Amino acid sequence: MSEILQMRSITKEFPGVLALKDVTLTVERGEIHAICGENGAGKSTLMKVLSGVYPHGTYTGDIVLDGEEMRFASINDSEARGIVIIHQELALVPYLSVAENLFLGNEVKGFGGLIDWNAANAQATELMNRVGLHENPTTPVSQLGVGKQQLIEIAKALAKDVRLLILDEPTAALNDTDSEHLLGLIRQLKEQGITSIMISHKLNEIAEIADNTTIIRDGRTIETIDMSDPASTQERIIRGMVGRDLEHRFPERTPEIGEPVLEVKDWTVYHPTQTGRVIIDHASFSVRAGEVVGIAGLMGAGRTELAMSLFGHSYGRDISGEIRMHGQVIGAPTVSDAIRHRIAYCTEDRKRYGLNLIADIRENISSAGLFKLARGGWVNGNEELKVAEDYRRDLNIKTPTVMAQVGKLSGGNQQKVVLSKWLYTDPEVLILDEPTRGIDVGAKYEIYTIINRMVAAGKAVVVISSELPELLGICDRIYTLAYGRITGEVPVGEASQERLMALMTLERDQPIPATGFTTYPAGTADSTTDFTDETKGLQR
Protein backbone atom coordinates (compact mmCIF):
# COMPACT_ATOMS: atom_id res chain seq x y z
CA MET A 1 0.00 0.00 0.00
CA SER A 2 1.09 3.55 -0.73
CA GLU A 3 0.61 6.51 1.56
CA ILE A 4 -2.56 8.54 1.08
CA LEU A 5 -1.90 10.95 3.95
CA GLN A 6 0.96 12.44 5.90
CA MET A 7 0.60 14.96 8.69
CA ARG A 8 4.00 16.37 9.68
CA SER A 9 4.88 18.27 12.86
CA ILE A 10 1.34 19.53 13.46
CA THR A 11 1.24 22.04 16.33
CA LYS A 12 -1.99 23.72 17.42
CA GLU A 13 -2.42 26.19 20.27
CA PHE A 14 -5.47 27.65 21.97
CA PRO A 15 -5.27 30.52 24.48
CA GLY A 16 -3.32 29.09 27.39
CA VAL A 17 -3.39 25.52 26.03
CA LEU A 18 -0.96 23.67 23.75
CA ALA A 19 -3.35 21.13 22.21
CA LEU A 20 -0.94 19.52 19.71
CA LYS A 21 2.85 19.56 19.58
CA ASP A 22 4.80 18.16 16.61
CA VAL A 23 2.23 15.43 15.93
CA THR A 24 2.97 13.13 12.99
CA LEU A 25 0.54 10.73 11.33
CA THR A 26 0.97 8.50 8.28
CA VAL A 27 -2.01 6.67 6.79
CA GLU A 28 -1.74 4.03 4.07
CA ARG A 29 -4.17 3.94 1.17
CA GLY A 30 -7.10 1.59 1.78
CA GLU A 31 -6.37 0.88 5.43
CA ILE A 32 -8.40 1.33 8.60
CA HIS A 33 -6.25 3.46 10.88
CA ALA A 34 -7.25 3.89 14.53
CA ILE A 35 -6.28 6.80 16.76
CA CYS A 36 -6.26 6.25 20.52
CA GLY A 37 -5.63 8.52 23.46
CA GLU A 38 -7.12 9.79 26.67
CA ASN A 39 -9.81 12.46 26.64
CA GLY A 40 -8.10 15.77 25.96
CA ALA A 41 -5.08 14.11 24.32
CA GLY A 42 -5.71 16.00 21.06
CA LYS A 43 -7.28 13.32 18.84
CA SER A 44 -10.33 15.31 17.74
CA THR A 45 -8.25 18.49 17.40
CA LEU A 46 -5.90 16.69 15.01
CA MET A 47 -8.82 15.51 12.88
CA LYS A 48 -10.34 19.00 12.84
CA VAL A 49 -7.00 20.28 11.52
CA LEU A 50 -7.06 17.61 8.81
CA SER A 51 -10.66 18.30 7.78
CA GLY A 52 -10.31 22.10 7.61
CA VAL A 53 -12.45 22.86 10.68
CA TYR A 54 -9.28 24.58 11.91
CA PRO A 55 -8.06 26.23 8.67
CA HIS A 56 -4.51 26.59 7.44
CA GLY A 57 -2.78 29.38 9.28
CA THR A 58 -4.28 28.53 12.66
CA TYR A 59 -1.71 25.74 13.13
CA THR A 60 1.83 24.96 12.06
CA GLY A 61 2.98 21.88 10.18
CA ASP A 62 2.15 20.23 6.88
CA ILE A 63 -0.70 18.12 5.51
CA VAL A 64 0.24 16.05 2.47
CA LEU A 65 -2.52 14.24 0.56
CA ASP A 66 -1.52 11.98 -2.33
CA GLY A 67 1.90 13.62 -2.36
CA GLU A 68 0.50 17.15 -2.62
CA GLU A 69 0.63 19.69 0.22
CA MET A 70 -2.83 20.82 1.28
CA ARG A 71 -3.84 24.20 2.70
CA PHE A 72 -7.51 23.84 3.53
CA ALA A 73 -9.29 27.11 4.29
CA SER A 74 -12.55 25.42 5.26
CA ILE A 75 -14.28 22.07 5.57
CA ASN A 76 -15.63 22.56 2.05
CA ASP A 77 -12.05 22.54 0.73
CA SER A 78 -11.25 19.21 2.41
CA GLU A 79 -14.52 17.65 1.22
CA ALA A 80 -13.71 18.73 -2.33
CA ARG A 81 -10.58 16.54 -2.03
CA GLY A 82 -12.56 13.57 -0.71
CA ILE A 83 -11.94 14.01 3.05
CA VAL A 84 -15.16 13.73 5.08
CA ILE A 85 -15.39 13.82 8.89
CA ILE A 86 -18.27 12.38 10.93
CA HIS A 87 -18.25 13.94 14.37
CA GLN A 88 -19.27 12.17 17.57
CA GLU A 89 -22.24 14.55 17.84
CA LEU A 90 -24.13 13.77 14.64
CA ALA A 91 -24.70 16.75 12.35
CA LEU A 92 -28.17 15.86 11.06
CA VAL A 93 -31.26 18.06 11.02
CA PRO A 94 -33.90 16.01 12.87
CA TYR A 95 -36.96 17.56 11.24
CA LEU A 96 -35.73 17.08 7.68
CA SER A 97 -36.13 13.83 5.77
CA VAL A 98 -33.35 11.33 5.14
CA ALA A 99 -32.99 12.52 1.54
CA GLU A 100 -32.95 16.19 2.57
CA ASN A 101 -30.17 15.47 5.07
CA LEU A 102 -28.13 13.43 2.57
CA PHE A 103 -28.05 16.26 0.04
CA LEU A 104 -28.14 19.29 2.34
CA GLY A 105 -25.79 21.82 0.73
CA ASN A 106 -25.30 19.40 -2.16
CA GLU A 107 -28.84 19.42 -3.56
CA VAL A 108 -29.90 17.42 -6.62
CA LYS A 109 -31.03 20.06 -9.07
CA GLY A 110 -33.25 19.68 -12.09
CA PHE A 111 -34.91 21.99 -14.60
CA GLY A 112 -34.54 25.69 -13.82
CA GLY A 113 -32.24 25.05 -10.87
CA LEU A 114 -35.08 23.63 -8.77
CA ILE A 115 -34.56 20.54 -6.63
CA ASP A 116 -35.50 17.34 -8.45
CA TRP A 117 -37.12 15.43 -5.57
CA ASN A 118 -37.72 12.28 -7.59
CA ALA A 119 -34.04 12.08 -8.50
CA ALA A 120 -32.99 13.01 -4.94
CA ASN A 121 -35.13 10.29 -3.40
CA ALA A 122 -33.91 7.72 -5.91
CA GLN A 123 -30.26 8.59 -5.26
CA ALA A 124 -30.93 8.58 -1.50
CA THR A 125 -32.36 5.07 -1.74
CA GLU A 126 -29.28 3.93 -3.66
CA LEU A 127 -26.94 5.44 -1.05
CA MET A 128 -28.91 3.91 1.82
CA ASN A 129 -28.75 0.51 0.16
CA ARG A 130 -24.95 0.83 0.07
CA VAL A 131 -24.84 1.20 3.85
CA GLY A 132 -27.49 -1.44 4.54
CA LEU A 133 -30.24 0.98 5.54
CA HIS A 134 -33.70 0.22 4.22
CA GLU A 135 -35.90 3.19 5.03
CA ASN A 136 -38.21 5.44 3.06
CA PRO A 137 -36.06 8.43 1.98
CA THR A 138 -38.89 10.80 3.00
CA THR A 139 -38.80 9.62 6.64
CA PRO A 140 -37.86 12.39 9.09
CA VAL A 141 -34.49 11.65 10.70
CA SER A 142 -35.97 12.23 14.17
CA GLN A 143 -37.99 9.02 13.77
CA LEU A 144 -34.84 6.90 13.40
CA GLY A 145 -32.59 5.51 16.12
CA VAL A 146 -29.01 6.59 16.70
CA GLY A 147 -27.61 3.53 14.90
CA LYS A 148 -29.53 4.35 11.72
CA GLN A 149 -28.61 8.02 11.99
CA GLN A 150 -24.94 7.00 12.08
CA LEU A 151 -25.49 5.07 8.83
CA ILE A 152 -27.11 8.15 7.29
CA GLU A 153 -23.96 10.14 8.12
CA ILE A 154 -21.86 7.55 6.27
CA ALA A 155 -24.28 7.58 3.33
CA LYS A 156 -23.94 11.37 3.31
CA ALA A 157 -20.17 10.96 3.08
CA LEU A 158 -20.56 8.55 0.16
CA ALA A 159 -22.66 11.17 -1.61
CA LYS A 160 -19.61 13.44 -1.49
CA ASP A 161 -17.31 10.88 -3.20
CA VAL A 162 -15.37 10.24 0.00
CA ARG A 163 -11.85 8.84 -0.27
CA LEU A 164 -10.70 9.39 3.31
CA LEU A 165 -13.42 8.91 5.92
CA ILE A 166 -12.82 10.17 9.49
CA LEU A 167 -15.07 8.71 12.20
CA ASP A 168 -14.93 10.23 15.69
CA GLU A 169 -16.22 7.71 18.27
CA PRO A 170 -18.66 6.15 15.75
CA THR A 171 -19.95 3.44 18.12
CA ALA A 172 -19.98 5.40 21.41
CA ALA A 173 -23.79 5.65 21.52
CA LEU A 174 -24.59 2.35 19.78
CA ASN A 175 -25.62 -1.00 21.19
CA ASP A 176 -23.65 -4.15 20.38
CA THR A 177 -25.78 -5.08 17.36
CA ASP A 178 -25.58 -1.63 15.76
CA SER A 179 -21.85 -1.45 16.54
CA GLU A 180 -21.18 -4.76 14.78
CA HIS A 181 -23.18 -3.61 11.76
CA LEU A 182 -21.23 -0.34 11.59
CA LEU A 183 -17.86 -2.07 11.89
CA GLY A 184 -18.89 -4.47 9.13
CA LEU A 185 -19.78 -1.50 6.94
CA ILE A 186 -16.35 0.09 7.55
CA ARG A 187 -14.77 -3.19 6.40
CA GLN A 188 -16.92 -3.10 3.24
CA LEU A 189 -15.81 0.46 2.54
CA LYS A 190 -12.22 -0.71 2.86
CA GLU A 191 -12.87 -3.36 0.19
CA GLN A 192 -14.22 -0.56 -2.03
CA GLY A 193 -10.92 1.32 -1.64
CA ILE A 194 -12.07 3.89 0.92
CA THR A 195 -9.52 4.70 3.63
CA SER A 196 -10.84 5.21 7.17
CA ILE A 197 -9.45 6.92 10.25
CA MET A 198 -11.34 5.92 13.38
CA ILE A 199 -11.08 7.54 16.81
CA SER A 200 -12.32 5.16 19.48
CA HIS A 201 -12.00 4.33 23.17
CA LYS A 202 -13.31 0.80 22.64
CA LEU A 203 -10.07 -1.15 22.50
CA ASN A 204 -11.76 -4.43 21.65
CA GLU A 205 -13.20 -2.85 18.50
CA ILE A 206 -9.82 -1.40 17.56
CA ALA A 207 -8.20 -4.80 17.96
CA GLU A 208 -10.92 -6.29 15.78
CA ILE A 209 -10.90 -3.82 12.89
CA ALA A 210 -7.77 -1.64 12.73
CA ASP A 211 -4.71 -2.27 10.53
CA ASN A 212 -2.59 0.28 12.40
CA THR A 213 -3.13 2.31 15.57
CA THR A 214 -1.54 5.64 16.42
CA ILE A 215 -1.44 6.60 20.10
CA ILE A 216 -1.53 10.28 21.13
CA ARG A 217 -0.83 11.42 24.68
CA ASP A 218 -0.84 15.02 25.93
CA GLY A 219 -0.88 16.37 22.39
CA ARG A 220 2.12 14.31 21.22
CA THR A 221 2.52 11.22 19.07
CA ILE A 222 3.67 8.29 21.20
CA GLU A 223 3.85 5.50 18.61
CA THR A 224 2.09 3.79 15.72
CA ILE A 225 1.40 0.08 16.22
CA ASP A 226 1.00 -2.57 13.54
CA MET A 227 -2.10 -4.40 14.79
CA SER A 228 -1.08 -7.63 13.04
CA ASP A 229 1.89 -7.87 15.43
CA PRO A 230 1.14 -10.39 18.22
CA ALA A 231 2.70 -7.91 20.68
CA SER A 232 -0.03 -5.35 19.85
CA THR A 233 -2.12 -6.07 22.93
CA GLN A 234 -4.74 -3.91 24.57
CA GLU A 235 -2.37 -3.58 27.54
CA ARG A 236 0.27 -2.05 25.25
CA ILE A 237 -2.24 0.46 23.91
CA ILE A 238 -3.35 1.39 27.43
CA ARG A 239 0.26 1.84 28.54
CA GLY A 240 0.85 4.20 25.64
CA MET A 241 -2.35 6.14 26.33
CA VAL A 242 -1.93 6.71 30.06
CA GLY A 243 1.88 6.58 30.31
CA ARG A 244 1.85 3.74 32.81
CA ASP A 245 0.63 0.19 33.27
CA LEU A 246 -2.88 -0.28 34.57
CA GLU A 247 -2.51 -3.51 36.49
CA HIS A 248 -6.25 -3.65 36.91
CA ARG A 249 -8.95 -2.02 34.81
CA PHE A 250 -11.02 -1.62 37.97
CA PRO A 251 -9.75 -0.37 41.34
CA GLU A 252 -9.94 -2.90 44.13
CA ARG A 253 -12.61 -2.50 46.80
CA THR A 254 -13.57 -4.46 49.89
CA PRO A 255 -17.36 -4.08 50.24
CA GLU A 256 -18.80 -3.01 53.58
CA ILE A 257 -22.50 -3.28 52.89
CA GLY A 258 -25.03 -1.97 55.39
CA GLU A 259 -28.79 -1.62 55.66
CA PRO A 260 -31.12 -0.93 52.71
CA VAL A 261 -31.18 2.73 51.66
CA LEU A 262 -33.45 2.65 48.59
CA GLU A 263 -36.17 0.05 48.00
CA VAL A 264 -38.45 0.12 44.96
CA LYS A 265 -41.54 -2.08 44.76
CA ASP A 266 -43.86 -2.80 41.81
CA TRP A 267 -42.72 0.30 39.91
CA THR A 268 -44.85 0.69 36.78
CA VAL A 269 -44.50 3.41 34.17
CA TYR A 270 -46.52 4.10 31.04
CA HIS A 271 -45.26 5.74 27.86
CA PRO A 272 -45.72 9.54 28.01
CA THR A 273 -47.60 9.76 24.68
CA GLN A 274 -48.59 6.25 23.56
CA THR A 275 -51.72 5.35 25.50
CA GLY A 276 -51.65 1.96 27.19
CA ARG A 277 -48.00 1.16 26.43
CA VAL A 278 -46.18 -0.10 29.52
CA ILE A 279 -42.50 0.87 29.63
CA ILE A 280 -41.62 -0.33 33.15
CA ASP A 281 -43.62 -3.34 34.33
CA HIS A 282 -43.82 -3.86 38.13
CA ALA A 283 -40.08 -3.51 38.66
CA SER A 284 -38.71 -4.12 42.18
CA PHE A 285 -35.14 -3.70 43.36
CA SER A 286 -33.10 -2.44 46.29
CA VAL A 287 -29.68 -0.93 47.01
CA ARG A 288 -27.94 -0.77 50.38
CA ALA A 289 -25.49 1.54 52.04
CA GLY A 290 -21.96 0.91 50.78
CA GLU A 291 -23.21 -1.11 47.81
CA VAL A 292 -22.86 -0.71 44.04
CA VAL A 293 -25.83 -2.22 42.22
CA GLY A 294 -25.77 -2.61 38.45
CA ILE A 295 -28.66 -2.58 36.00
CA ALA A 296 -28.00 -4.40 32.73
CA GLY A 297 -30.28 -4.51 29.71
CA LEU A 298 -30.30 -4.25 25.95
CA MET A 299 -31.13 -1.01 24.18
CA GLY A 300 -34.84 -0.35 24.64
CA ALA A 301 -35.14 -2.50 27.76
CA GLY A 302 -36.18 0.53 29.82
CA ARG A 303 -33.04 1.18 31.87
CA THR A 304 -32.97 4.95 31.42
CA GLU A 305 -36.75 5.21 31.64
CA LEU A 306 -36.65 3.40 35.00
CA ALA A 307 -34.01 5.78 36.36
CA MET A 308 -35.67 8.94 35.07
CA SER A 309 -39.11 7.96 36.35
CA LEU A 310 -37.68 7.35 39.82
CA PHE A 311 -35.90 10.71 39.74
CA GLY A 312 -38.84 13.06 40.12
CA HIS A 313 -40.99 11.46 37.41
CA SER A 314 -38.69 12.91 34.73
CA TYR A 315 -40.12 10.34 32.33
CA GLY A 316 -43.50 8.69 31.79
CA ARG A 317 -47.05 9.02 33.09
CA ASP A 318 -49.51 7.02 35.21
CA ILE A 319 -46.60 6.03 37.43
CA SER A 320 -47.42 3.69 40.28
CA GLY A 321 -45.52 1.70 42.88
CA GLU A 322 -43.59 2.44 46.04
CA ILE A 323 -40.26 4.00 46.90
CA ARG A 324 -38.77 3.66 50.35
CA MET A 325 -35.79 5.49 51.78
CA HIS A 326 -34.47 3.91 54.98
CA GLY A 327 -37.72 1.97 55.31
CA GLN A 328 -39.99 5.02 55.00
CA VAL A 329 -42.31 5.45 52.03
CA ILE A 330 -41.56 8.68 50.18
CA GLY A 331 -43.17 10.62 47.37
CA ALA A 332 -40.92 12.28 44.79
CA PRO A 333 -43.16 13.57 41.99
CA THR A 334 -40.70 16.33 41.07
CA VAL A 335 -36.94 16.61 40.65
CA SER A 336 -36.82 19.01 43.60
CA ASP A 337 -38.53 16.37 45.74
CA ALA A 338 -36.02 13.73 44.65
CA ILE A 339 -33.11 16.03 45.54
CA ARG A 340 -34.74 16.83 48.89
CA HIS A 341 -34.91 13.09 49.59
CA ARG A 342 -31.21 12.94 48.67
CA ILE A 343 -31.56 11.04 45.42
CA ALA A 344 -29.37 12.13 42.48
CA TYR A 345 -29.36 11.05 38.84
CA CYS A 346 -26.47 11.50 36.39
CA THR A 347 -27.98 11.30 32.92
CA GLU A 348 -26.50 9.27 30.06
CA ASP A 349 -26.68 12.36 27.81
CA ARG A 350 -24.44 14.82 29.64
CA LYS A 351 -24.34 17.33 26.79
CA ARG A 352 -28.12 17.62 26.46
CA TYR A 353 -29.43 17.04 29.97
CA GLY A 354 -26.47 17.04 32.34
CA LEU A 355 -24.66 20.30 31.61
CA ASN A 356 -25.16 23.87 30.50
CA LEU A 357 -22.44 23.83 27.85
CA ILE A 358 -22.24 27.62 27.46
CA ALA A 359 -21.90 28.21 31.22
CA ASP A 360 -18.67 27.89 33.17
CA ILE A 361 -17.61 24.98 35.36
CA ARG A 362 -18.39 26.88 38.56
CA GLU A 363 -22.02 27.51 37.58
CA ASN A 364 -22.53 23.90 36.46
CA ILE A 365 -21.18 22.42 39.69
CA SER A 366 -23.38 24.61 41.89
CA SER A 367 -26.54 24.42 39.75
CA ALA A 368 -28.28 21.51 41.53
CA GLY A 369 -27.28 22.69 45.02
CA LEU A 370 -27.83 26.43 44.86
CA PHE A 371 -30.09 26.15 47.90
CA LYS A 372 -26.93 25.47 49.92
CA LEU A 373 -25.33 28.71 48.70
CA ALA A 374 -28.29 31.11 48.74
CA ARG A 375 -29.14 33.53 51.52
CA GLY A 376 -32.11 35.84 51.13
CA GLY A 377 -32.38 34.97 47.44
CA TRP A 378 -28.72 35.82 46.71
CA VAL A 379 -26.02 33.31 45.85
CA ASN A 380 -22.75 33.67 47.76
CA GLY A 381 -20.34 33.95 44.81
CA ASN A 382 -17.20 33.50 46.89
CA GLU A 383 -18.52 30.31 48.46
CA GLU A 384 -19.67 29.07 45.05
CA LEU A 385 -16.16 29.59 43.68
CA LYS A 386 -14.62 27.76 46.64
CA VAL A 387 -16.97 24.79 46.20
CA ALA A 388 -16.11 24.53 42.51
CA GLU A 389 -12.38 24.76 43.19
CA ASP A 390 -12.63 22.02 45.83
CA TYR A 391 -14.33 19.65 43.39
CA ARG A 392 -11.91 20.57 40.61
CA ARG A 393 -9.06 19.49 42.87
CA ASP A 394 -10.72 16.46 44.47
CA LEU A 395 -11.99 14.96 41.19
CA ASN A 396 -8.94 15.99 39.17
CA ILE A 397 -10.88 18.03 36.61
CA LYS A 398 -8.22 19.04 34.10
CA THR A 399 -8.72 22.76 33.59
CA PRO A 400 -6.68 25.81 34.59
CA THR A 401 -9.73 27.55 36.07
CA VAL A 402 -13.32 26.78 37.07
CA MET A 403 -14.33 29.89 35.11
CA ALA A 404 -13.66 27.98 31.87
CA GLN A 405 -16.65 27.17 29.65
CA VAL A 406 -17.68 23.58 30.31
CA GLY A 407 -18.42 22.93 26.64
CA LYS A 408 -14.71 23.22 25.87
CA LEU A 409 -13.73 20.37 28.22
CA SER A 410 -13.03 16.82 27.09
CA GLY A 411 -15.73 14.19 27.61
CA GLY A 412 -14.06 12.71 30.67
CA ASN A 413 -13.70 16.08 32.36
CA GLN A 414 -17.30 16.99 31.49
CA GLN A 415 -18.40 13.77 33.18
CA LYS A 416 -16.48 14.76 36.32
CA VAL A 417 -18.30 18.10 36.33
CA VAL A 418 -21.65 16.26 36.16
CA LEU A 419 -20.57 14.07 39.06
CA SER A 420 -19.42 17.12 41.02
CA LYS A 421 -22.79 18.77 40.50
CA TRP A 422 -24.63 15.87 42.08
CA LEU A 423 -22.07 15.08 44.75
CA TYR A 424 -22.50 18.64 46.00
CA THR A 425 -26.18 17.90 46.76
CA ASP A 426 -24.90 15.27 49.24
CA PRO A 427 -27.02 12.38 47.92
CA GLU A 428 -27.55 9.12 49.75
CA VAL A 429 -28.48 7.37 46.49
CA LEU A 430 -26.62 8.20 43.27
CA ILE A 431 -27.96 6.73 40.01
CA LEU A 432 -25.31 6.78 37.28
CA ASP A 433 -26.60 6.21 33.74
CA GLU A 434 -23.76 5.17 31.40
CA PRO A 435 -21.18 7.06 33.52
CA THR A 436 -18.18 6.14 31.32
CA ARG A 437 -19.71 6.38 27.85
CA GLY A 438 -17.32 8.00 25.39
CA ILE A 439 -14.38 8.39 27.79
CA ASP A 440 -10.98 6.71 27.79
CA VAL A 441 -9.63 3.97 30.05
CA GLY A 442 -7.68 6.38 32.24
CA ALA A 443 -10.71 8.60 32.88
CA LYS A 444 -12.85 5.50 33.42
CA TYR A 445 -10.51 4.36 36.17
CA GLU A 446 -10.86 7.74 37.85
CA ILE A 447 -14.68 7.51 37.66
CA TYR A 448 -14.55 4.04 39.23
CA THR A 449 -12.36 5.41 42.01
CA ILE A 450 -14.92 8.15 42.71
CA ILE A 451 -17.67 5.50 42.91
CA ASN A 452 -15.56 3.52 45.39
CA ARG A 453 -15.06 6.63 47.52
CA MET A 454 -18.80 7.19 47.62
CA VAL A 455 -19.71 3.69 48.76
CA ALA A 456 -16.84 3.73 51.26
CA ALA A 457 -18.61 6.75 52.79
CA GLY A 458 -21.80 4.72 53.11
CA LYS A 459 -23.59 5.97 50.00
CA ALA A 460 -25.66 3.69 47.76
CA VAL A 461 -24.82 3.70 44.05
CA VAL A 462 -26.82 2.35 41.10
CA VAL A 463 -24.89 1.98 37.82
CA ILE A 464 -26.62 1.53 34.46
CA SER A 465 -24.19 0.40 31.76
CA SER A 466 -24.19 -1.21 28.34
CA GLU A 467 -20.74 -2.68 29.05
CA LEU A 468 -21.15 -5.96 30.91
CA PRO A 469 -17.42 -6.18 31.80
CA GLU A 470 -17.79 -2.80 33.50
CA LEU A 471 -20.73 -3.98 35.61
CA LEU A 472 -18.90 -7.19 36.50
CA GLY A 473 -15.84 -5.15 37.50
CA ILE A 474 -17.44 -2.56 39.81
CA CYS A 475 -20.75 -3.93 41.13
CA ASP A 476 -21.75 -6.07 44.10
CA ARG A 477 -25.07 -7.16 42.60
CA ILE A 478 -26.52 -6.88 39.11
CA TYR A 479 -30.19 -6.71 38.09
CA THR A 480 -31.16 -7.54 34.51
CA LEU A 481 -33.94 -5.79 32.65
CA ALA A 482 -35.87 -6.91 29.55
CA TYR A 483 -39.02 -5.31 28.12
CA GLY A 484 -39.33 -3.22 31.27
CA ARG A 485 -39.30 -6.26 33.58
CA ILE A 486 -36.66 -7.12 36.15
CA THR A 487 -35.71 -10.59 34.92
CA GLY A 488 -32.92 -11.44 37.31
CA GLU A 489 -30.76 -10.45 40.27
CA VAL A 490 -27.28 -11.96 40.41
CA PRO A 491 -24.45 -11.45 42.94
CA VAL A 492 -21.34 -10.43 41.04
CA GLY A 493 -19.49 -13.50 42.34
CA GLU A 494 -21.99 -15.71 40.52
CA ALA A 495 -22.37 -13.53 37.43
CA SER A 496 -20.93 -13.98 33.96
CA GLN A 497 -21.58 -12.20 30.69
CA GLU A 498 -23.32 -15.33 29.38
CA ARG A 499 -25.65 -15.60 32.39
CA LEU A 500 -26.50 -11.90 32.30
CA MET A 501 -27.13 -11.97 28.56
CA ALA A 502 -29.48 -14.94 28.92
CA LEU A 503 -31.55 -12.94 31.44
CA MET A 504 -31.38 -9.76 29.35
CA THR A 505 -32.78 -11.49 26.27
CA LEU A 506 -35.88 -13.09 27.79
CA GLU A 507 -38.86 -12.51 25.51
CA ARG A 508 -41.79 -10.49 26.76
CA ASP A 509 -43.99 -13.58 27.28
CA GLN A 510 -41.29 -15.83 28.77
CA PRO A 511 -41.55 -16.62 32.49
CA ILE A 512 -38.76 -15.23 34.66
CA PRO A 513 -36.54 -18.09 35.91
CA ALA A 514 -36.25 -18.46 39.67
CA THR A 515 -32.52 -19.10 39.22
CA GLY A 516 -32.12 -15.49 38.13
CA PHE A 517 -32.70 -14.26 41.67
CA THR A 518 -30.66 -14.37 44.83
CA THR A 519 -32.05 -16.18 47.84
CA TYR A 520 -31.43 -14.26 51.07
CA PRO A 521 -31.44 -15.65 54.62
CA ALA A 522 -34.50 -14.78 56.70
CA GLY A 523 -34.39 -11.29 58.17
CA THR A 524 -32.27 -9.64 55.47
CA ALA A 525 -33.53 -7.09 52.98
CA ASP A 526 -33.79 -7.95 49.30
CA SER A 527 -35.45 -6.70 46.15
CA THR A 528 -38.70 -8.43 47.07
CA THR A 529 -39.05 -6.87 50.52
CA ASP A 530 -42.70 -7.05 51.61
CA PHE A 531 -44.36 -3.68 52.11
CA THR A 532 -47.09 -3.05 54.62
CA ASP A 533 -50.69 -3.14 53.44
CA GLU A 534 -51.20 0.51 54.30
CA THR A 535 -48.77 1.63 51.59
CA LYS A 536 -49.58 -0.86 48.82
CA GLY A 537 -51.03 0.60 45.63
CA LEU A 538 -49.90 4.12 46.48
CA GLN A 539 -50.08 6.32 43.36
CA ARG A 540 -47.70 9.15 42.70
**pLDDT digits over 352-383, tens only?**
889 999 999 999 999 999 999 988 888 899 99
Q: Label residue 28 exposed, middle or buried (CB < 10 Å: 0-12, 13-18, 19+).
A: middle
User: Which CATH number is correct for 3-242, 3.40.50.1370, 3.40.50.300, 3.90.550.10, 1.25.40.10?
Assistant: 3.40.50.300
The pLDDT of residue 538: 30
- Averaged over 391-407, what is the pLDDT? 90
The pLDDT of residue 518: 65
* Nearest Cα residue to 341 out of 361, 362, 311, 371: 311
User: Each residue of 171-191: pLDDT tens digit?
Assistant: 876 777 778 888 999 999 999
CA gap 329, 538 in Å, rounded: 9
- Averaged over 280-284, what is the pLDDT? 95
Q: Label residue 104 exposed, middle or buried (CB < 10 Å: 0-12, 13-18, 19+).
A: middle
In the chain, domain spans: 3-242, 356-422
Question: Residue 532 pLDDT more than 70?
Answer: no
Sheet of strand 212-217, all strands in order from the earlier edge strand to the far edge: 83-86, 164-168, 195-199, 32-36, 212-217, 220-226
In the three-class reduction of DSSP (H, G, I as helix; E, B as strand; rest coil), residue 302 is classed as coil
- Averaged over 253-266, what is the pLDDT? 95
Q: Which residues, including other chains, have CB under 8 Å from residue 489's CB and lie 6 or more apart?
A: 285, 477, 478, 479, 480, 516, 517, 518, 526, 527
User: Each residue of 437-464: pLDDT tens digit?
Assistant: 877 777 888 899 999 999 999 999 999 9
Strands 477-482 and 292-297, by their bridges, are parallel
The identity of residue 234, as a single letter, is Q
CA gap 463, 457 in Å, rounded: 17
CA gap 287, 43 in Å, rounded: 39
**Per-residue confidence at 203, pLDDT binned at 50, 70, 90?**
confident
Question: Residue 531 pLDDT more than 50?
Answer: no
The identity of residue 538, as a single letter, is L
Question: Residue 527 pLDDT more than 80?
Answer: no
CA gap 381, 402 in Å, rounded: 13
* Nearest Cα residue to 294 out of 35, 491, 153: 491
The pLDDT of residue 1: 55
The pLDDT of residue 537: 33
The pLDDT of residue 246: 56
Q: How far is CA 305 from the centre of its chain?
A: 16
Question: Residue 535 pLDDT more than 80?
Answer: no
Question: Residue 309 pLDDT more than 90?
Answer: yes
Phi and psi at residue 171, in whole multiples of 5°?
Answer: -110, 10
Higher pLDDT, 176 or 43: 43
CA gap 220, 43 in Å, rounded: 10
Question: Residue 23 pLDDT more than 90?
Answer: yes
CA gap 307, 314 in Å, rounded: 9
Question: Residue 36 pLDDT more than 80?
Answer: yes
User: Each residue of 484-508: pLDDT tens digit?
Assistant: 999 999 999 999 988 998 898 887 7
Cut 0.85: pTM above it: no
